[in-house]
A and B are shown apart, each in its own frame.
Chain A
Amino acid sequence: MRRENVFWMALLVIGAAALLWRSAFTTEGMGREYVRAVPVANGRWTQSDPATYGEYQGAEAALPAQTEYQFSLPRTIGLWLAAFFTLAIFSFLFGDNPFYKVAEAVLVGVSAAYWMVIGFWDVIVPNLVGKIWPALVRAWAMPGLSGPEAEPSPSYIVVLVLSVMLLWRLAPKGGWIARWPLAFIIGTTAGLRLIAFLHGDFLVQIRNTILPLAVIDGGVFDPWLSLQNLLIVVGVLCCLVYFFFSFEHQGAVGATAKAGIWVLMITFGAAFGYTVMGRIALLAIRLEFLLDDWLWLIDPTGRRVAALLAGGGLG
């Protein structure tokens, strides 16, 4: 057996043994989810709202035969699956493996299916069928659809026709029909974005860069704000010179362009720093999930306070 496989096997056995020991042979346990049975308005049904182990412990202590707070097997399975997939994704850091591949495939499949369902219920039903045939949608899917918004809008038939034309590319013949709605989408999107970028980024950003280099606030010179404005104006000008290629970058132009490179590098460095911070935050929340929700090693929000009292302390 390869050394790497031995390592993996050993890690899995040790991990499984530790989990078994913690969940079965310790007072505090781990990885269980609880729900609270809440009666819904009609009184015939109850819905299960998420509850904490602390609330369950408190209810059990008050009334041992209570049924309001209960252990939830489906939610517990969900929790363990979430922990498994988290570890499976992390395992890629060691090397490619079947666990990672399974987790990746599940993520892609679930995301695609979710997008499709959302697209149908949140877009096609209310924004297309609901506009063309509101009575049908009201009777079938959206009983709350009423008032002036529920009046039929015949103009949406154009949208329906364009949608059918777009899907025509899946047909064996006449794929060119799909180019017309595609051209419409590209044209309108390009037009919308061109105006937005020209207005929001180009013009207003020029305005934002026209700043007073000597800031006088209430008759008093503000050196800090003046320096800040000077840095912005000089930084922008230097960067613009760097991207100005009509002159050779020599002499004064070259020096300014070099200063522009420094400004750009500092900007990229700051952006990289922010990215690192973001990635560490994402890692932190997954580890928090493993330590708190799954392993019950920490309890920063006090969700298992009653469990702490009963179990004599965690960790």
Chain B
Amino acid sequence: MTEFIVNQWWLVAIVIASLIPLVMRIVSAGLLETLRTLDRRWIFLLLLWAVLIPIYFIGVTGRTFPEVPSVLARATFDEIDRLNPGDPILLAFDYDPPSEGELGPMATAFVYHAASKKLRMYFMALWPLGAQMIDNTIAKVITPDFRDLVYGRDYINLGFKSGQEGVIKVVVTNLRELYTTDSRGTAMQDIPMMEGITNIQQMKVIVSVSAGYPGTKEWVQYAVTPFPSLRLVAGATGVQAPLLYPYVPRQLPGLLGAIKGAAEYEKLVVDAYGGANADPKYLEALRRMGPQLVAHLLIITLIVVANVVFLIDRGRKR
């Protein structure tokens, strides 16, 4: 840490310089008065440093915080890990760039896990930009690191279909009613891995990477509930995850909540398949836990400080 501070003196100087006006105000007006009338922009600035400095520190040093996988992350991992090579798996990427920060690492880890297991991957999207998210993940994981996997034989991008939950309701019984071609325009009967696939009940596991509506909730309601033999695991944003916990474990055996869930799952996958020197692109979520820790500590401190100021003021009024 000392070495980092010495080498990155310029960053330390910028941080200190940016906070000098606040310190001067505390000195002149007093701590309590400053806190009582604190401009919210100071809080924004503190949060900026709380997130930026750990990102920079981790980016320069390459260190990450240790992560202990939870029961749900383990259950998600086991659902995919129990499958045999060649088993079909549906990956529904129902998110877009605004959620990439949370869901991108999950999507990467899911595809890395499935590709390492040599599963047959069927990608689809209920969000318009989901198709691009699929292409990005394929370009990031399969194209450079799994060159033996062939498009159309080992993995396929079915692309985006409009219709929200209506799409799920149709493909669960008749996939070809909506999907006449893949995202590249190739006819279904010309794609080897589509042979014999008529509906998604034939998938061993459905993986839903979801940022909202339509997403995991709709997969639970329209696929898993009417067809309980289907197995669904999900990676969801922080906003969505609390709404999905009631489905665990009967309707949703595995759930990764926000970046924390992504980091736990990432660790399990990298430990199992990444080898001793895992590619840093598979450690994205683990790297992003650093800013989470510092920012959460700052927010907790601010909540405590604000309550202390409130209690002091109330005590004085009495």
- CA separation between A127 and B233, bound complex, in Å? 29
Which residues does chain B contribute within 8 Å of A271, judged by CB atoms? 239, 242-243
Q: Are B187 and A192 in contact (CB under 8 A)?
A: no
Q: Are A204 and B60 in contact (CB under 8 A)?
A: no
A residues neighboring B (CB under 8 Å) = 50, 93-94, 114-115, 118-119, 122-123, 126-127, 130, 142-150, 192-193, 196-197, 199-201, 204-205, 207-208, 267, 270-271, 274-288, 291-292, 297-302, 315
Q: Are B295 and A122 in contact (CB under 8 A)?
A: no
B317 within 8 A of A: no
Residue from the list B52, B59, B139, B185 in contact with A143, Cβ < 8 A:
B185
> Provided the pairs A130-B180, A298-B59 are in contact, do residues A119 and B221 lie with their beta carbons within 8 angstroms?
no
Residue from the list B48, B129, B185, B257 in contact with A142, Cβ < 8 A:
B185
Number of B positions contacting A (CB below 8 A):
72
Which residues does chain B contribute within 8 Å of A145, judged by CB atoms? 180-181, 185, 187
B25 within 8 A of A: no
Residue from the list A127, A277, A301 in contact with B258, Cβ < 8 A:
A277
Q: Are B221 and A291 in contact (CB under 8 A)?
A: no
CB-CB nearest in chain B for A150: B180
- CA separation between A50 and B144, bound complex, in Å? 12
CB-CB nearest in chain A for B64: A300
Residue from the list B55, B159, B161, B292 in contact with A298, Cβ < 8 A:
B55
B86 within 8 A of A: no
Number of A-B contacts (CB under 8 A): 175
CB-CB nearest in chain B for A272: B242
Chain B, residues 135-149, CB within 8 Å of chain A (1/0): the string is 000010000000000
> Provided the pairs A118-B128, A147-B188, A200-B221 are in contact, do residues A280 and B160 lie with their beta carbons within 8 angstroms?
no
Q: Are A94 and B246 in contact (CB under 8 A)?
A: no
Q: Are B55 and A288 in contact (CB under 8 A)?
A: yes
B66 within 8 A of A: no
Chain B, residues 93-129, CB within 8 Å of chain A (1/0): the string is 0000011111010000000000000000000000011
> Provided the pairs A196-B165, A302-B280 are in contact, do residues A281 and B41 lie with their beta carbons within 8 angstroms?
no
Q: Are B102 and A300 in contact (CB under 8 A)?
A: no
- CA separation between A258 and B162, bound complex, in Å? 45
How far in angstroms is the closest Cβ of chain A from B242?
4
Which residues does chain B contribute within 8 Å of A292, judged by CB atoms? 59
Q: Are B185 and A297 in contact (CB under 8 A)?
A: no
B76 within 8 A of A: no
Residue from the list A50, A119, A147 in contact with B162, Cβ < 8 A:
A119
> Provided the pairs A122-B128, A281-B259, A281-B288 are in contact, do residues A192 and B166 lie with their beta carbons within 8 angstroms?
yes
Q: Are A146 and B221 in contact (CB under 8 A)?
A: no
Which residues does chain A contribute within 8 Å of B243, judged by CB atoms? 271
20 CB-based A-B contacts, threshold 8 Å: A93-B44, A118-B160, A122-B162, A127-B161, A127-B178, A144-B181, A144-B184, A144-B187, A146-B189, A275-B238, A277-B259, A278-B239, A281-B238, A284-B51, A287-B55, A288-B59, A291-B56, A299-B59, A301-B281, A315-B8
- CA separation between A282 and B99, bound complex, in Å? 7
Known pairs A196-B165, A196-B222, A199-B226. 8 more at Cβ < 8 A? A142-B181, A143-B185, A144-B185, A146-B189, A204-B251, A271-B242, A287-B51, A288-B59
CB-CB nearest in chain A for B243: A271
> Provided the pairs A200-B221, A280-B51, A283-B51 are in contact, do residues A122 and B160 lie with their beta carbons within 8 angstroms?
yes
Q: Are A144 and B186 in contact (CB under 8 A)?
A: yes
Which residues does chain B contribute within 8 Å of A127, judged by CB atoms? 161-162, 178
Which residues does chain A contribute within 8 Å of B185, judged by CB atoms? 142-145
How far in angstroms is the closest Cβ of chain A from B13?
13
B74 within 8 A of A: no
Q: Are B288 and A300 in contact (CB under 8 A)?
A: no
Q: Which parts of B52-74 form the interface with A (CB within 8 Å)?
A: 52, 55-56, 58-60, 62
B176 within 8 A of A: yes
Q: Are B225 and A196 in contact (CB under 8 A)?
A: yes
Q: Are B162 and A275 in contact (CB under 8 A)?
A: no
- CA separation between A93 and B43, bound complex, in Å? 10
Q: Are B181 and A126 in contact (CB under 8 A)?
A: yes
Which residues does chain B contribute within 8 Å of A143, judged by CB atoms? 185
Which residues does chain A contribute within 8 Å of B299, judged by CB atoms? 276
CB-CB nearest in chain A for B40: A93
Q: Which parts of B187-205 form the interface with A (CB within 8 Å)?
A: 187-190
> Provided the pairs A144-B181, A196-B165, A204-B225 are in contact, do residues A149 and B98 lie with their beta carbons within 8 angstroms?
no
Which residues does chain A contribute within 8 Å of B102, judged by CB atoms? 278, 281-282
- CA separation between A299 and B295, bound complex, in Å? 22
Which residues does chain A contribute within 8 Å of B279, judged by CB atoms? 301
Chain B, residues 150-165, CB within 8 Å of chain A (1/0): the string is 0000000001111001
Q: Are A93 and B128 in contact (CB under 8 A)?
A: no
B291 within 8 A of A: yes
> Provided the pairs A122-B128, A197-B221 are in contact, do residues A297 and B56 lie with their beta carbons within 8 angstroms?
yes
B220 within 8 A of A: yes
- CA separation between A306 and B88, bound complex, in Å? 40
B36 within 8 A of A: no
Q: Are A114 and B222 in contact (CB under 8 A)?
A: no
- CA separation between A191 and B28, bound complex, in Å? 65
